[in-house]
Structure 1
Amino acid sequence: MSNKPIIVFEGIEGSGKTSHIKNVEKYLKKNNKKFIKIREPGGSKNSERIRKLILDNKSTFNNTTDLLLYLAARSENISLLKKHYKKKIILLDRFTDSTIAYQHYGMGVKLKIINFINNYLLKDIKVDFTFLHLVNKKNLQLRLKQRKKLNRYDKFNFRFYKKVQDGFIKIAKKNKKKYSLIDSNLDFKLNKETIIKMINKII
C-alpha cells in the first residue's frame, strides 16, 4: 500500500462517517501530513453545483438520471484526483462504493452500467482503504431528527437505507483486507481511537 493512499469513508446517512473524516483531517494537519479532502458529490466548483441539484428537495430525478449526475460530479473531480494521486493522502467522503450501494443495491440500476462508467473515469486510480460505518435503525432515525436541515437523500424510508447498508456490507466482504467496519452505535470516542490507530498503520 502506498504511504500516500486514497482512504474512503463510507456509510449511510447518520452513520458518523463525516464526523470521523473531520477528526482524521485534524489529526493529519496536527502531524504535518500532506493531504486533500474531497466529498462526493462535491469537491470542485462544478461538482458542487451538481451536488446542489442532486440533493435539492425539489429535484425529482429518475434513478438513471440520479446515477448519471453522481458520475458527472465524479468526472469533474478526476483531474483533481490525478493531480494528487500518490503525491498526497487523499481522504474521500464517499466514493465508488456509495454509487454501487445506493444506485445498484438501493435503486436497482444495473451494476454493469455503474462499473463501466466508473472504470472509464478512474482508469488506474485505486482506493487503498475504506472505513465502512454501520448504524442501526434507532440511531439513524435519532441522528436524522437532530439535523437542522434535511436534503433529498435524508428522507428515504428505513427499508431503503437497509438495502443500501446491506449493499455496502456485501461490497466489503469481497475484499475484507481493505475494509474496516466501524460500528457507529458504539461510543464515538472509542471509534475515533480505532480509526486513528488504523490510519497510522495505513500511512
Structure 2
Amino acid sequence: MSKKPIIVFEGIEGSGKSHHISIVSKYLDKKKINYIKIREPGGNPNSEKIRKLILNNKSDFNKNTDLLLYLAARSENIKTIKKYYKKKIILIDRFTDSTIAYQHYGMGIDIKIINLIHKFLLDNISVSFTFLNLVNKKNLYLRLKKRKKLNRYDKFNMNFYNKVQNGFLKLANLKKNSYHLVNSNLDIKLNEKLILKKIDKLIF
C-alpha cells in the first residue's frame, strides 16, 4: 500500500464518520503531515453548490437524478484527487462505496450503471483503506435529534438506513483486507484510539 493512501470514512447518518475524519485531520496536523481532506457531496466550490441542491429539504429529485447529481459532484473532485494521488494522504468523508450503498442497495438503482460511471470518472484511482462506521437504530435517532438542522438525507425511515448499512457490510465483506469496521455504539474515545492506531500503520 502507498504510504500516501486514499483513506475513506463511510457510514450511514449518525454513525460518527465525520467526527472521526476530523480527529484524524487534527492528528495529522499535530504530526505536521501533509494531507488533503474532501467531503462528498462537496469538497470544492462547484461540488458544494451541488451538495446544497441534493441535501436541500425542498428538493424532490427522483432516484436517478440523485445518482447523477452525486456523480457530478464527484466528477468535480476527481481533478483534485488525481493531482495529489500518491503524493499526499487523501482523506475522504464518503466516496464511491456510499454511492453503491445508498443508490444501489438503498434505492435499487442498477449497480452496473454506477460501476460504469465510476470506471469512467476514476480511471486508475483506487481507495487504499476504508473505515466503516456502524450504528444501531437507537443511537442513530438520538444523534439525529441533537442536530440543529436536518437535511433531506437525515429524514429517511429506518428500513432505508438498514438497507444502506447492510449494503455497506456486503461491500466490506468483499474487501475484507481494506476495510475496518468501527462499532460507533461503543465509547467514542475508545474508537478514536483504535482508528488512530490503524492510521499509524497505514501511513508510517
Amino acid at match of 2:20: H
Counterpart for residue 89 of structure 1: 89
Is the partner of 2:201 in helix, strand or coil?
A: helix
* 1:150-189 to 2 correspondences below 5 Å: 150-189=150-189
Amino acid at match of 1:141: Y
> What is the deviation of 1:97?
0.4
Is the partner of 1:21 in helix, strand or coil?
A: helix
Q: Distance in 1 between matches of 2:21 and 2:37?
A: 9
Counterpart for residue 41 of structure 2: 41
**TM-score (ref. length: structure 2):** 0.99
Amino acid at match of 1:150: L
* 1:48-59 to 2 correspondences below 5 Å: 48-59=48-59
Amino acid at match of 1:2: S
**Residues 152-191 of structure 1: CA deviation (Å, up to 9, x unaligned):** 0000000000000000000000010000000000000000
Across the two proteins, how many residue pairs are aligned to each other? 203
Amino acid at match of 2:66: D
Q: Distance in 2 between matches of 1:32 and 1:145?
A: 36
Amino acid at match of 2:30: K
1:73 counterpart = 2:73: yes
Q: Distance in 2 between matches of 1:32 and 1:165?
A: 34
Is the partner of 2:37 in helix, strand or coil?
A: strand
Unaligned runs of 5+ in 2: none
Amino acid at match of 1:184: S
Counterpart for residue 21 of structure 2: 21
Is the partner of 1:198 in helix, strand or coil?
A: helix
Is the partner of 1:76 in helix, strand or coil?
A: helix
Report sequence identity in percent: 70
Q: Distance in 1 between matches of 2:32 and 2:126?
A: 24
Q: Distance in 2 between matches of 1:54 and 1:169?
A: 25
Amino acid at match of 2:85: Y
1:140 counterpart = 2:101: no
**TM-score (ref. length: structure 1):** 1.00
> What is the deviation of 1:60?
0.3
> What is the deviation of 1:132?
0.1
Is the partner of 1:41 in helix, strand or coil?
A: coil
> What is the deviation of 1:80?
0.4
**Residues 71-109 of structure 1: CA deviation (Å, up to 9, x unaligned):** 000000111001110010000000000000000000000
Q: Distance in 1 between matches of 2:153 and 2:166?
A: 17
Q: Distance in 1 between matches of 2:32 and 2:119?
A: 33
Counterpart for residue 201 of structure 2: 201
Is the partner of 1:77 in helix, strand or coil?
A: helix
Q: Distance in 1 between matches of 2:115 and 2:48?
A: 23
Tell me how large the CA RMSD over aligned residues is.
0.3
Amino acid at match of 1:111: I
Unaligned runs of 5+ in 1: none
Q: Distance in 1 between matches of 2:148 and 2:159?
A: 23
Is the partner of 1:101 in helix, strand or coil?
A: helix
Q: Which runs of 4+ in 1 moved over 3 A?
A: none
